[in-house]
Amino acid sequence: MFVKTFGLLSLMDDTYDVHVTLEECCKLNEAIQRWDRSAASILPEYLHTFYIKLLDNIKEFEDTLGPHEKYRLSYAEEAIKSLSEYYLHEAKWSNEKYAPSFKEHLEVSHMSLGFPTLAIVMLMGVGNTATKKAFDWAVNVPNIVRASGQIARFLNDIPSYKMGKTNNKDVASSVECYMKEHLVAGEEAVAVISALAEDTWRMMNQACMEIEPALLPAAQLVVNLTKMLEVIYLGGRDGYTFGGDLKSLITGLFLKPIVVG
């Protein structure tokens, strides 16, 4: 569930960012909000396949859920609808050449990176840990989920800034917004964003200490999901965009035998 959805959301993100006009972005968002195969009729033909695949893959998850778990699909669908709205928001910024403040940027971009949505998708497949109470908790973006999204944004934007833009339609990163707002150089902005990532981990740790025990298993899953980011972006690399950077690590952990003695 998680891997399929991750891939679909990555495609959706790239579609909004690069491959469609603003008018087509609005149509795609309208179709996603309707969440019905018939809504494909309002889309350009080249988007039909993606849209139907998105709906069908989420629908297929129903077959893997028990009778008492099928309600979870509605949470995933609503989370994806919400994510689509954030993608559209950024597409409008890009089209209008709008330069948001750092705070305004973060309010949108910590959601648009997708981790709050993925937290809900992740809960769909973890058995009894995912209670209805846990879903209601996650969908309201509590501090732990918000911190996860912010850390994802910060760690993603640092290597993205260092490598430079590959597409002129890309919205300014949090690093660039901070530079413009505070009139500082790139290195200083990167240092501030790195420090903010550390501070956000502290916020997450504090929230974990304060959370009610019944929700702690779900919160721990979100924390573990966020830990993955520290591996993907270790040392300022971008293992999300350039997966080859992680090949040796995965090979060492899962494929190469450990020599003992």
Terminal alpha carbon distance of the chain: 40
pLDDT at 261: 67
Handedness of CA 41, 42, 46, 49 (dihedral sign): negative
DSSP state of 170: S
Overall average pLDDT of the 143-150 stretch: 95
Give the residue with greater pLDDT, 128 vs 185.
185
Tally Cβ neighbours within 10 Å of residue 145.
27
Residue 250 domain flag: no
pLDDT, tens digit (0-9, with 9 covering 90-100), for 156-170: 999 988 887 666 667
In a domain? residue 105: yes
120 domain-assigned = yes
Give the whole-angstrom CA distance, residue 48 versus residue 39: 9
The band of 236, judged by pLDDT with boundaries at 50, 70 and 90, is confident
Q: Specify the pLDDT at position 194.
A: 94
Digit-coded pLDDT (tens) for 188-230: 999 999 999 999 999 999 999 999 999 999 999 999 999 988 8
- d(CA 40, CA 52) in angstroms, rounded, equals 7
Domain-embedded: residue 63? yes
| 46 in any annotated domain | yes
Tokens of 261: 């003695």
Question: Can you give the pLDDT at residue 165?
Answer: 67
Neighbours of 103 (CB within 10 A): 9
Segment 241-249 shows an average pLDDT of: 78
Please write the tens of the pLDDT for every residue from 92-131. 999 998 889 999 999 999 999 898 999 999 998 887 778 9
Model pTM above 0.85: yes
Instruction: Identify the domain containing residue 192 by its residue range.
Output: 2-241
Looking at the domain assignment, is residue 251 inside a domain? no
Give the whole-angstrom CA distance, residue 69 versus residue 173: 38
**How many domains, the chain?**
1
Residue type, 186: G
| 261 found inside a domain | no
Q: Is there a contact between 56 and 11 (Cβ–Cβ < 8 Å)?
A: no
CATH number at residue 189: 1.10.600.10
User: Do the domain assignments include residue 175?
Assistant: yes
Mean pLDDT of the residues in the chain? 90
